[in-house]
Chains A and B, each alone.
Chain A
Amino acid sequence: MILRTIIAVLGLAAFHLVVALMPSSPVPLATNIVLFAANLYVLYCARFSVRTGSSSRVALFALGYFLLFVLVLVILDRESLFILLIVVYASVFHVPYLLGYFVIFVLSFVIFQPYSAETFIPLALVYALIVQAGKKRTSPFVLLCLGVGLFFLVLILFPLLHLSMLDSPRTLGQAFGREDVRAAIWTSIATSSVATAIVSLFGVPLAYALARLRFRGQRFVETLIDLPILVPQSVVGVALLTLLGPGSPLGRALETHFDIQIAGRFLGVVLAQVFVSSPFLIKTAMTAFEGVPQHLEDAARTLGANGRTAFWRVSLPLASRGVVVGMVLAWARSISEFGSIILFASSPLTAPILVHTEFAKAGISESRPIAVLLLLICLWTFVLLQFGQSLLPKALQRVRGLR
């Protein structure tokens, strides 16, 4: 063992000597000495792999080293980075969990250099999720499926992440300081909330009825619910404008007799949002109500609750998580609506429309901070609402687990 160690150290020293004595040395002497020290450390770490006796492990270690060498030293020609990386590499090689992070780090900060932060964060997150999910005796295939799926998710979210990395807090603050930006964001939040309230008021009863009843034509009703997802947003806008626009008989009648204007007003924005967001709430709430077993409601009935009381005391509390998820989705869909609103109710300005008009007026650099601001606000509201759910009864999952 000692003999082998001495041979290895001497071999390494000889190699570095040869490199130093080469007529046109590729590395300066000082770097060469530091490199020698780093390589000694790598050798010191590698001895564990050698000692375990598994030749494939040694080969893997060597391969990783070689790849780093080719990538950083030969292609990128950055000696100091290489020294840093091989030291870290040798240190973490024995901990597969950390090695994964190391690979991701190299990928993000060396290969995808201009996009380092926005690739490192999601990739590290995906890796952490997979490692965490794989702790129990899970089939590797399922983990692979998870990995592929999450990677796809990262690809989808990448433009958003990249966007949110570009602007400094200062430009965001400037954008937020503008009166019209604040008004547009406020309009967006207010209209979406009103739209969600309206959809809930009618959608929750419908969802409950559809989950509890079986009647002919039910499939037809369920298809109708999905219709707004299918219809292009511009078509929705044109349809609403045709029906309620200032030139239409209904629009004119409403305006002259009741002094209600819809197109181009707050109400118009809400109407367009209600139209496009209703399927999300109804479908989600339906699934939630279907998850409440019928026999729980029967039990409530035999205990003296009438249909209405059974709904308020049993079905709704048990479905509340699903209903709230549906409301969050409907709210999110409302705030993101653009196509129908720009046709039907382009004033008051909502934030998505402001992003568009700014882009049309002044180009990407002007509209980007507003876009980022909108993104951040939506994201945080979404996160907060999702978190809020955990305060509701957990019953749904538990009941499923029992059955």
Chain B
Amino acid sequence: MITVDGVKQNFGESFSLDVSLEVLKKEYLVLLGPSGCGKSLLLGAIAGIVGIAEGAIAVDGRDVSDEPPERREIGYVFQQRALFPHLSVIGNIEFSLRIRKLSPAQRKERVDELVQTLDLAPLLDRPVPTLSGGESQKVAIARALAPKPQILLLDEPLSLVDHNSRLELQDELKRIHQDLGITTLHVTHNREEAQALADRCAVMLGGRIVQLGKRIEVFSRPNCIFVDRFLGVGSETPPPAPGCSEICLAGNGQCDRPYSSEQVASEKTQGDEPAEKA
């Protein structure tokens, strides 16, 4: 559904993004990694708000690398919510519908649908700046879903939410994914979220993906010491790959493991199997 093919971009001297990734149709892929590993940048690149220097991004087989964000038809939920403070809750939800010049009746119909799906009725009269973290996140999700995108990108959707709302929102995300069958890419640094939601997991470090696989596989068989530590598995880890000096253990978010094309290929073949449902 989303093909990230050898996407590269430099961000200053010390950090660069270098990723290939295939997100399957209707799967829930969780992109895990410590802060500063480039996972949000990758998400931004897919949505088109972060530029890329090399490589290509395709959505449903269509190359969108040169398309502006507004023509990619991808729903994006920002870490900071990015709700429009000058608009009402409804104004936020129907923003995309107004831009698509839907008639008031059509807009109302779609907004009613979303209000029902996400149980937003009690929030409709509240000014946007007074919404709590969990509430504003629900509105942000509704807003992203309004134009019926095929793909939903979630950037740390549960990070600014208190514990109770987090569990509730987590269930909500799972339900939305199952009900709508929408391809979802969820970025987080929290392994519990990955365990609760993911069909597949990708672990990122230093701007590259170090392991990609089914959730159970990644959590039971980490392929390097970093993944093992980061996921807190504590299993018997395999010896470092040739060329890997375990520089990641220094904790400054770098990885010097050679990123071989075979690995990408093997991940691609893995991807051809039907995704396991959570």
Instruction: Please list the residues of chain A having a beta carbon within 8 angstroms of any beta carbon in chain B.
Output: 293, 295-296, 298-307, 309, 313-314, 317-318, 393, 395, 398-399, 401-403
B230 at the interface (CB under 8 A from A): no
> What does the 1/0 interface line of B132-153 toward A look like (CB < 8 Å)?
0000000000011011000000
On chain A, the residues within 8 Å of B143 by CB distance are 303
Q: How far is the CB of A392 from chain B (nearest CB, A)?
A: 9
Give 7 closest A-B pairs by Cβ, nearest first. Answer: A299-B82, A393-B86, A303-B96, A302-B76, A301-B69, A395-B86, A395-B85
**A301–B99 CB distance below 8 A:** no
**B70–A306 CB distance below 8 A:** yes
On chain A, the residues within 8 Å of B72 by CB distance are 302
> What does the 1/0 interface line of B204-229 toward A look like (CB < 8 Å)?
00000000000000000000000000
**B78–A300 CB distance below 8 A:** no
Q: State whether A298 and B82 are in contact (beta carbons under 8 Å apart), knowing that A303-B95, A305-B99, A398-B129 are contacts in the complex.
A: yes
Q: How far is the CB of A225 from chain B (nearest CB, A)?
A: 27
**A301–B96 CB distance below 8 A:** no
**A299–B96 CB distance below 8 A:** no
A299 vs B128: C-alpha distance in the bound complex, in angstroms?
A: 15
**B147–A304 CB distance below 8 A:** yes
Q: State whether A302 and B69 are in contact (beta carbons under 8 Å apart), knowing that A295-B80, A309-B99, A402-B129 are contacts in the complex.
A: yes
On chain A, the residues within 8 Å of B44 by CB distance are 298
B84 at the interface (CB under 8 A from A): yes
Q: How far is the CB of A312 from chain B (nearest CB, A)?
A: 11
B17 at the interface (CB under 8 A from A): no
Q: State whether A299 and B84 are in contact (beta carbons under 8 Å apart), knowing that A305-B99, A306-B68, A309-B99 are contacts in the complex.
A: yes
B33 at the interface (CB under 8 A from A): no
**B49–A302 CB distance below 8 A:** yes
B38 at the interface (CB under 8 A from A): no
On chain B, the residues within 8 Å of A393 by CB distance are 85-86
**A293–B82 CB distance below 8 A:** yes
A-contacting residues, B74-109, CB 8 Å:
74-76, 78, 80, 82-86, 95-96, 99-100
On chain B, the residues within 8 Å of A302 by CB distance are 47-49, 69-70, 72, 74-76, 144
Instruction: Please count how many residues in chain B sit with their CB below 8 Å of the partner chain's CB atoms.
Output: 27
- 6 residue pairs of the A-B complex, CB under 8 angstroms, read A302-B47, A304-B96, A305-B99, A306-B68, A313-B95, A318-B85
On chain B, the residues within 8 Å of A401 by CB distance are 129
**A304–B85 CB distance below 8 A:** no
Q: How far is the CB of A213 from chain B (nearest CB, A)?
A: 14
A296 vs B82: C-alpha distance in the bound complex, in angstroms?
A: 5
Q: How far is the CB of A339 from chain B (nearest CB, A)?
A: 41
A-contacting residues, B29-71, CB 8 Å:
44, 47-49, 68-70
A398 vs B146: C-alpha distance in the bound complex, in angstroms?
A: 25
A393 vs B70: C-alpha distance in the bound complex, in angstroms?
A: 25
**B86–A298 CB distance below 8 A:** no
On chain A, the residues within 8 Å of B85 by CB distance are 318, 393, 395, 398-399, 402
Q: State whether A299 and B70 are in contact (beta carbons under 8 Å apart), knowing that A318-B85, A395-B85, A398-B85 are contacts in the complex.
A: no
Q: State whether A301 and B86 are in contact (beta carbons under 8 Å apart), knowing that A295-B80, A402-B129 are contacts in the complex.
A: no
Chain B's closest residue to A294 (CB) is: B49
Q: How far is the CB of A195 from chain B (nearest CB, A)?
A: 29
**B76–A304 CB distance below 8 A:** no
A31 vs B80: C-alpha distance in the bound complex, in angstroms?
A: 75
Choice from A296, A304, A402, A403 contacting B84 with Cβ under 8 Å = A296
On chain A, the residues within 8 Å of B49 by CB distance are 298, 301-302
**B99–A304 CB distance below 8 A:** yes
On chain A, the residues within 8 Å of B144 by CB distance are 302-303
**A293–B80 CB distance below 8 A:** yes
Most buried by B among A317, A318, A402: A402
On chain B, the residues within 8 Å of A403 by CB distance are 80
On chain B, the residues within 8 Å of A295 by CB distance are 78, 80, 82
Q: How far is the CB of B88 from chain A (nearest CB, A)?
A: 11
A398 vs B87: C-alpha distance in the bound complex, in angstroms?
A: 12
A293 vs B83: C-alpha distance in the bound complex, in angstroms?
A: 11
**A305–B82 CB distance below 8 A:** no
Q: How far is the CB of A399 from chain B (nearest CB, A)?
A: 5
Most buried by B among A295, A309, A401: A295
Chain B's closest residue to A299 (CB) is: B82
Chain A's closest residue to B47 (CB) is: A302
Chain A's closest residue to B44 (CB) is: A298
**A301–B68 CB distance below 8 A:** yes
On chain B, the residues within 8 Å of A313 by CB distance are 95, 99
Q: How far is the CB of A141 from chain B (nearest CB, A)?
A: 31
On chain A, the residues within 8 Å of B47 by CB distance are 298, 302
A334 vs B69: C-alpha distance in the bound complex, in angstroms?
A: 42
**B99–A299 CB distance below 8 A:** no
**B76–A317 CB distance below 8 A:** no
On chain A, the residues within 8 Å of B70 by CB distance are 301-306
A130 vs B44: C-alpha distance in the bound complex, in angstroms?
A: 48
**B96–A317 CB distance below 8 A:** no
**A303–B80 CB distance below 8 A:** no
